Structure 1
Amino acid sequence: MTHEFKETLLYVENLSVAYDDTVIIKDINVIEKDVIRPNVDCTGQVIAFLGRSGRGKSTFFKALTGLVPSNTGKVLIRDFDNSEPNAAKPVKEGDIGLVDQKYTLFRHKTVTEALKFSLRKTKLSESEKETKIKQYLKEWGLENCKDKYPNELSGGQRQRTAIIEQLFSSDNFIVLDEPFSGLDVGNIQEVKKAFDLLGKSSEVNTVIFSTHDIELALELAQTIYVIGYPTIDGKLQSYGTIVAKYDLREMGLAWKDYCGDHLELSKEIIHQMMIS
């Protein structure tokens, strides 16, 4: 399926994070561009990060979203307030939304109140905020939840609310740490639907997620990165970095139903994860 790469949306160069004297991740490099597909209005970018537990995926996500400082390197995203081609800005906390595994929400706010709070820094008028909230509640199947509190929501409803919250406050970038962890089949379908909604709501929307489910990563993502311990001079190191990248668009596997070619690639990814 044909596609064309446009402006750079995310640029990570030589990113490293250490706690005290322990290096957690090191020398991580990522470049992701806006992708245009003929006769498709909105594609959005979906990027998956795979890796064994303890390899630094969560630390990378925290550094990517500005929640922890990096020791070296930089993270830049497209500056949509600047009309210059490829205009970029350094990431600060709040620029990229992060949805953790707990779907943390305000306990004392209803869904509508929480979403209105997440729009507090926008330039929208009150009526525009209300219109936007109603639109998203309808599209995301949350109309019946608008006056409910977090403890009255199902796991899938809490997650969808948390995603919209982060999308409202951080615009076009969102990171989901293990969004499928512990969900039943029905809720997994709801999250997959949320990914589809994110992609279709804006061409530049960029969704980054981690998962242990390789089949889901292959089904949903256009790019897959594997974070693991690198082997240098025959010795396995003790810090995480990107040990493999698979561009499913270039391989002809993106935007396709899961098939035999995906299965073969999953075997290669499993091998890569096991040796790192």
Structure 2
Amino acid sequence: MNSYTASLRGKIWKILLGVYRVSASEYLKFVSKRKSKFYDKIKNDGFRTLRTDEKFKQKVTDNMIVRLLNAFVWSKEKEKIVSDVNCNFTYVQGMNVIAAPFLYVLPEMEAFYAFSTFIQYYCPLYVHSSLIGAHAGAKLLDICLEIIDPELYNHLTKNQLTAEIYAFSSILSFCACTPPLQELLCLWDFLFAFGVHLNIIFVIAQMIIIREELLNEKNPYHKLRNFPNLNSKLIIAVSISLIPKIPKDIYTKIVNHTHDYKTVEELLK
């Protein structure tokens, strides 16, 4: 396991997320367990995590990702999700990408507790077995885009493009699927300080930044298949300007959709 000292960013993330307890003996207990039933999938996903980022691969090994995620599965084996959804935590698509930034800014053991806290208390419905929180996030993105920029929304829908098609990975991973990592870390600074629900606004902001290019594309999916590299300062600035345009009742749904089943159920019915 890596033994480097937590970065200042990592320490601040722990404070913002409310991670006040870590236990080496507990983590080692989970690590020492046999391979979980998700081990093969975790190992395969771990190998592909931020594969093109050299700085990340120099600092975070595949084994670290696999250990943390396999330990997470064992640690939550008998726990229920923190909502009124009656299901167990397990390993689901996208967890490897969410774990990656934590491992980059924190030693492995501390990253495990920060990641676990984030998943359990901040976005539990994103790791529901059917990813219902992220699907609800896609629905909210469509609703908000139609309000904020009807022209762009109509252009996309005419091309049969909904957020479920072009933005699901960005929503599920809290933008961690888009490089570069250093810009993502700045976005997560903002999310942890002001609310992880703002990720929906971040994704809309990325689209507003390239709206003219999208509008000029006969098939905008080619442009949306891979979002442009993150520019954290610009994304945050645009996001702040967009928030007042969102009706209060819709914004409340954005705040709640990561953890409140009733909100998600209403959005997806």
Give the TM bin, normalised by the shorter chain: under 0.3
TM-score of the two chains, using structure 1 as the length reference: 0.26
TM-score of the two chains, using structure 2 as the length reference: 0.27
Write 1 or 2 for the structure with the bigger share of strand. Answer: 1
Write 1 or 2 for the structure with the bigger share of helix. Answer: 2
Structure ranking higher on relative contact order (CA contacts 8 Å, 6+ apart): 1
